[in-house]
Amino acid sequence: MIRSIYLFVLFALFAAGGVWLADHPGNVAIRWDNYVVETNVIVLVSIALISALLLTLLYRIYVWLRTGPGRLGGAFAARRRSKGLEALSSGMVAIAAGDANEARRAAVEAEKHLSGEPMTLLLAAQAAELNKDDRAAGIY
């Protein structure tokens, strides 16, 4: 509620400033070397506002491009982790159900996405034990 009142007051001030500028047009002359630019205040203020908006837009695009690769890599890492956790869950369910082939497939999938995590090692060891592969179970 306070934010909307604040915005209303801000817009009212901008409108009052615009009306005042329309009532008092004034002239501006800019001299630089042999060049002279003559215009009124409203055009000068408009050019200044448009320039400020363009600079802000260019800055935001620059920041977006600079931080883009990190955000993109983070999204890929989160997706990879999610797939790994899903494979862990399905592998644990397969072990509980006694499905040796599904447990082994899920262990390989989990290791592919979450390499080196302790739970993937546990899943691989449990899958190897379920497959009666004592050598592989001893490795994990």
C-alpha to C-alpha distance for 74 and 66, rounded to whole angstroms: 14
C-alpha to C-alpha distance for 41 and 111, rounded to whole angstroms: 68
> 103 CB contacts (<8 Å, ≥6 apart)?
91, 94, 95, 123, 126, 127, 130, 131
Q: What is the pLDDT of residues 38-75, one digit of tens each?
A: 998 888 888 999 999 999 999 999 999 998 888 878 88
Q: What is the pLDDT of residues 4-16, one digit of tens each?
A: 999 999 999 989 9
Q: What is the pTM of this model?
A: 0.51
Q: What is the pLDDT of residues 74-108, one digit of tens each?
A: 888 889 999 999 999 999 999 999 888 899 899 98
Residue among 95, 89, 94, 135 at smallest CA distance from 110: 89
Q: What pLDDT is stored for residue 74 in this prediction?
A: 84
User: Is 120 exposed, middle or buried (CB count within 10 Å of its CB: 0-12, 13-18, 19+)?
Assistant: buried
> How is the chain split into domains, by residue range?
2-139
